[in-house]
């Protein structure tokens, strides 16, 4: 079957790729670009562990065909650091104990990042609503919410 040519910006780097038409963005990121931060935890869009940011919007990359996002600007967790400095969310997640097994973490952080980018000072209620898109099995979410609140304060 013929591949499709796409050009995607991933973490500020241009990637010119030939992908299968039925290839998901998650597969492209993990298998072709070796960006394994986004995880495959359910494959069906039920859990958010695969969340990356596409043109500013958080998406479940397991439900998106790479062909659909030709020309898009994509950020993954690996692209959050700037010049070796951690993003406030990354720092806050560490300091607040919001990371346990870590498997949901990249999706959680990217979902929160998209929130902070569109809403500089989210209320606790807004944060809970946003991260209720993502399943965590370890933390009970409390420290995740605290970390996002903390990052919001620092960023804003």
Partner 1 sequence: MILPKFTYKKVKSVAEAVAAYNSHKGKAKYLAGGTDLVPLMKLRLSAPAAVIDLKDIAELKAVSRKNDGWLAVGANVTLFALKNDPVVKEYFPALYESLDATSCETLQMRGTIGGNILQDTRCLLYNQSLEWRKARGFCYKMGGKVCNVVPNAKACFSNYCSDNAPSLITLSAQLRFVGPKGERTAGLEDIFSGDGRRPLTVEPGEILTEILIPLKKTKGAYEKLRVRDSIDYPLAGVAVSAKGGTVRACVCGIGLKPRVYDLSDMNEATVKEAADRMYGDAKPVSNTVLSAMYRKKMAGVLFKKAVKRVLQEG
Partner 2 sequence: MKDDFNIVGKRVARSDSLAKVTGEAWYTADIKLPNMLVGKVLRSPYPHAKIVRIDLARALKVPGVKAAISGFDAYGIKWGVFRYTQDHAMLPTDKVRYIGEDVAAVAAVDEETALEALSYIKVDYEPLPAVFDPLESMKEGAPQIHDQYKNNINIHINIDVGEVDKAMGKAFLVREDTFKAAGEAYAMMEPYAVVASYANGYLDLWMPNAGPHVRAKALSNLLKKPVNRVRIRHINSGGAFGGRSEVAPGDLVASLLSIKAGRPVKLVLSREENATSSRQVHDIITTIKTGMKKDGTIVAKDFRVILNGGAYSSTGPIATSIPFYYFEQSYRLPNVRYNGYRVFTNKGIRGMYGCHGRAVLAGNEVQMDLIAKELGLDPVAVRLKNGLKSGEVTATKSKITSCGLKETILQTAEKTNFTKRWGKPKRYKGVGMGCVAILCGFPMGFRSGSSCYVKINDDGQATIVTGLVDNGQGNESMVIQVASEVLGIPMKDINLVCADTEVTNLDPGAYSQAAAFVGANAVRVACENARKRIVGIAAEKLRVKEADIGLKDGLAYSKRSPDKKMPISWVVRESFFRGDPVIGTGSYFPKIDLEREWVSRPWGQMAGTFSFGASVAEVSIDPETGKVSIPRFTAAHDCGRAINPMAVEGQMEGSIQQAGVAAITEGNLWDKGHLLNPNLLEYKVPLACDMPEMETIIVSSIDPEGPFGAKEGGINIRANASSAVACAVTNATGELFEELPLTPDKVLTMLERKKGVKG
The yes or no reply on residue 149 touching partner 2 (CB under 8 A) is no
Q: Which does 21 bind (CB under 5 to 8 A by kind): partner 2, partner 1, none?
A: partner 1
CB atoms within 10 A of CB 16: 8
Task: Tell the smallest beta-carbon distance from residue 66 to partner 2 (Å).
Answer: 16
Query: Sign (positive/negative) of CA torsion 100, 38, 107, 134?
Result: negative
SS3 30: helix
Contact 25, 88 (CB under 8 A): no
Task: Tell the smallest beta-carbon distance from residue 58 to partner 1 (Å).
Answer: 5
Cross-strand pairs, 75: 53
β-strands 73-75, 4-10 pairing? parallel
**How many chain residues touch partner 2 (CB under 8 A)?**
53
Residue 103 CA to residue 115 CA, distance in Å, equals: 20
Closer by beta carbon to partner 1, 38 or else 65: 65
Closer by beta carbon to partner 1, 31 or else 95: 31
Residue 68 φ/ψ, nearest 5 degrees:
-65, -30
Write each residue from 33 to 72 as x if it is in contact with partner 1 (CB under 8 A), else as -, in one continuous string.
Answer: -------x--xxxx-x--x-----xxxx-xxxx-xx-x--
Q: Which does 75 bind (CB under 5 to 8 A by kind): partner 1, partner 2, none?
A: none
Residues in touch with partner 1 (CB under 8 A): 1-2, 4, 20-24, 27, 40, 43-46, 48, 51, 57-60, 62-65, 67-68, 70, 111, 129-130, 132-134
């Amino acid at each position: 079957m013929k591949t499709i040519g796409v050009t995607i910006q991933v973490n500020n780097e241009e990637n010119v790729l030939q992908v299968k038409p039925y290839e998901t963005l998650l597969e492209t990121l993990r298998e072709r670009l070796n960006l394994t931060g986004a995880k495959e935890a359910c494959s069906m869009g039920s859990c958010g562990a695969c969340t990356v940011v596409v043109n500013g919007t958080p998406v479940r990359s397991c439900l998106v065909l790479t062909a659909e996002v030709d020309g898009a600007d994509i950020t993954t967790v690996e692209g959050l650091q700037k010049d070796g400095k951690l993003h406030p969310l990354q720092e806050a997640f560490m300091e607040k104990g919001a990371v346990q097994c870590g498997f949901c973490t990249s999706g959680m952080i990217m979902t929160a990042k998209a929130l902070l980018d569109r809403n500089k000072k989210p209320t606790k209620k807004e944060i809970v609503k946003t991260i209720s898109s993502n399943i965590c099995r370890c933390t009970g979410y409390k420290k995740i919410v605290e970390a996002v609140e903390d990052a919001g304060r620092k960023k804003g």
